[in-house]
Amino acid sequence: MNNTLQIEIDPLLCAEQGRIFEGQINTKEMPRVADELGESSSDIKVILEFSRRNKIIVVMGRISGNLMLQCAACLEAIDFPVDINLNLAIVKDDSLTAILPEGLDPKVVEDGRLMLSDVVEDELVLALPDIARHDKCPIELRKVSASTDFVEEVNVKVNPFKVLEGFKKD
């Protein structure tokens, strides 16, 4: 068992040995997602299990943790829990992805070396929304109450006419 995922491994060797890697990774260690995530994102828990299925190198695993995104509309934090089950097949190039058994996603490893954190980063890039937004922003609620105030002001301005109408009837 290995606690760091910032290591480069040989997928074929790990598959033959049935290696299991379990550890945690901080989102700051993953440059492709670090910018999109807030400081308070927790470490990501990762388990990756290598095996061989006939001639195919398979990586099964789970990636879970609580991420913090920033809402594009109100700039407040959004809780973004992730719990990803992955089933990957290590392939040398894209041309082999068509012949993979169902349920396996391709991960291209051209030079026989695989950075474990790269697998995690791939999955997080896919899981993150293009644009993070609350279903209902807390700040939009404040906008609604502000427009209600405006309507009330207009009503006040209308009132003097009603007073005049009253004079005419007299």
For Zn ion (CB under 5 A), the number of binding residues is: 5
Residue with smaller CB distance to Zn ion, 34 or 139: 139
Q: Does 73 bind Zn ion (CB under 5 A)?
A: yes
Q: Which residues 127-166 are close enough to bind Zn ion by CB under 5 A?
A: 134, 137
45 binds Zn ion (CB under 5 A): no
CB of 129 to Zn ion, least distance (A): 12
Cβ closest to Zn ion, residue 16 vs residue 140 = 140
Answer yes or no: are the C-beta atoms of 64 and 80 closer than 8 Å. no
What DSSP string runs through 84-120?
A: EEEEEEEESSGGGGGGSPTT-EEEE-SSS-EEHHHHH
- Token pair listed for 82: 């992730």
Distance in Å, CB of 134 to Zn ion, minimum = 3
Q: Is 68 in the site for Zn ion (CB under 5 A)?
A: no
**DSSP letter assigned to residue 51:** E
Q: Report d(CA 31, CA 108) in Å as an integer.
A: 19
Q: Which residues pair with 107 in a beta bridge?
A: 90
Is 71 a binding residue for Zn ion by CB under 5 A? The answer is yes
Residue type, 150: F
DSSP state of 152: H
**Residue 166 to residue 152: CA distance in whole angstroms:** 22
CB of 38 to Zn ion, least distance (A): 13
| 74 counts as binding Zn ion under rule CB under 5 A | yes
* CB half-sphere exposure, 133, CA atoms < 13 A: 7
Per CB under 5 A, the segment of 4-12, 74-82, 87-95, 152-160 that binds Zn ion is: 74-82
Select 47 or 137, whichever has its Cβ closest to Zn ion: 137
Is the CB of 40 or the CB of 85 nearer to Zn ion? 40
The binding site for Zn ion (CB under 5 A) comprises 71, 73-74, 134, 137
